[in-house]
Amino acid sequence: MKQQTWTKTKWFSIIIFAFVFLIVVAGTTTWHYGMAQYLIGVCCAKGIVMKKDNEDAVKWMRLSAEKDFPKAQFYLAIFLALGEYVEMDNEEAVKLLRKAAAQDFPKSKIALAGCLMRECDSMESCMEAMKLAREEAERGDSMGQLLLAVGYQYGIGLDKDMAEAVKWFRKAAEQGESDAQFALAYFLSNEEGVEYNEEEAVKWYLKAAEQGHSGAQCNLGVRYMYGDGVEKDEDKAIELCRKAAENDVPEAQYALGLWYYEGMGVPFNMNEGIKWIRKAAERCNTEARFALGSIYEKEAVKWYRWAAEQKHEKALERLKELEPMWNFEEN
């Protein structure tokens, strides 16, 4: 027990000593001290030895990046691009990634391509993004293949070419990129740039869904509910669409809400159905918005009818406008 305690104390002391040493040397101006500042930033971000402090982490990362330490430049750029720990700034992220890429830091070129694609405020930046993506794609980088496929799909810095898009999506999908697997499945099931093949589409949806891709979970769930290309399985349909709905996929929210509202695969629950349909409608799903309007309109007819039975004149007027569209019996 004493030996174990002594060992823990010993290692803790060594870490403390190393950390203090890093702080002492971090005030100089060489590339190696930039590495020290980067390590301090990591300690701040992860709460190693000292209290976790994201603001201090960014400060030390900036100091390190200014000393041209590529790893700090890369990760600080990612923070800026995603708005993590710091306010989002894609322009500064691009500048830092250019510096890291000039030192051939791994993944910096593909990250730079992604940031350039995010803005694409000029043909030059779009073409540069695609040039970088192609370089990485041809080296076998799956993210480069994915970005190049997107470029061909939408004509970003390239002539739009669905056959080329599918080719590169397939390469990325075969390397396990879930976004590429989802895109390839969609094209196969909709005959875009490739011959229709529902069986292969389901295969790729399954692979993407297994990795937690919400869009794939939604599309696969709908297929299971209606037996479209797969054996009908309502339990799987509900499970998959619920996962996607909880990740804010509006199509999944609408499907799940509709099934609750109609009692498909789950016990009828009007309130639960309306809850999910409303979530989808609030996320701009057109079908959900129409469905929600129809539900409330139908409900309105019921209340107008009850008011009309008590000779309410305005209720009678509204019924004349609405009731012809709703031929239903009250429960």
Per-residue model confidence as pLDDT tens digits over 85-130: 899 999 999 999 999 999 999 999 999 999 999 877 788 889 999 9
From residue 112, give the alpha-carbon distance in Å to each of 80, 102, 103, 144, 177: 12, 11, 13, 11, 19
Q: 190 vs 14, which has greater pLDDT? A: 190
Determine, yes or no, domain membership for 23: yes
Amino acid at 215: G
Query: CATH number of the domain that 59 lies in?
Result: 1.25.40.10
The answer to whether residue 82 is domain-embedded is yes
Taking each helix axis from N to C end, the angle separating 70-82 and 54-66, rounded to the nearest 10 degrees, works out to 130
How much is the average pLDDT of 264-281?
96
**Strand, coil or helix: 306:** helix
Domain extent for 52: 15-93
DSSP string, 56-123: HHHHHHHHHHHTT-HHHHHHHHHHHHHTSSS---HHHHHHHHHHHHHTT-TTHHHHHHHHHHHH--SH
CA-wise closest residue to 42 among 17, 24, 60:
60
Number of structural domains in the chain? 1
- Run of H or E including 166: helix 162-174
What is the number of alpha carbons within 13 Å of residue 266 lying toward its C-beta? 19
Domain membership of residue 133 (yes or no) is no
Q: Is the pLDDT of residue 228 over 50?
A: yes
* pLDDT at residue 28, as a whole number: 56
Give the 3-state secondary structure of 209-265. Answer: HHCCCHHHHHHHHHHHHHCCCCCCCHHHHHHHHHHHHHCCCHHHHHHHHHHHHHCCC
CA 69 to chain centre: 30
Condensed to tens digits (0 to 9), the pLDDT of residues 114-125 reads 999 987 778 888
In a domain, 70, yes or no: yes
- DSSP 8-state symbol, 325: G
Both structure tokens of 261: 């509202």
Residue 56 forms part of a structural domain: yes
| Contact status, residue 256 vs residue 241, Cβ threshold 8 Å | yes
Helix and strand tally (H, E) in the chain? 17, 0
Confidence bin at 16 (pLDDT 50/70/90): very low
As given in the structure block, the two tokens for residue 42 are 């990591």
Q: What is the pLDDT of residue 31?
A: 65
Q: What is the pLDDT of residues 284-293, one digit of tens each?
A: 999 999 999 9
Q: Flag whether 80 is in a domain.
A: yes
- Note the pLDDT tens digit of each residue in 32-51: 778 888 888 888 888 877 78
- Asked if 180 contacts 172 with a C-beta cutoff of 8 angstroms, the reply is yes
Give the predicted TM-score (pTM) of the model: 0.81
* Alpha-carbon gap, residue 252 to 277, rounded angstroms: 9
Tell me whether residue 261 is in a domain.
Answer: no
Q: Is residue 323, in this structure, part of any structural domain at all? A: no
Instruction: Indicate the pLDDT class of residue 2, thresholds 50, 70 and 90.
Output: very low
What is the torsional sign of CA 219, 225, 229, 233? positive
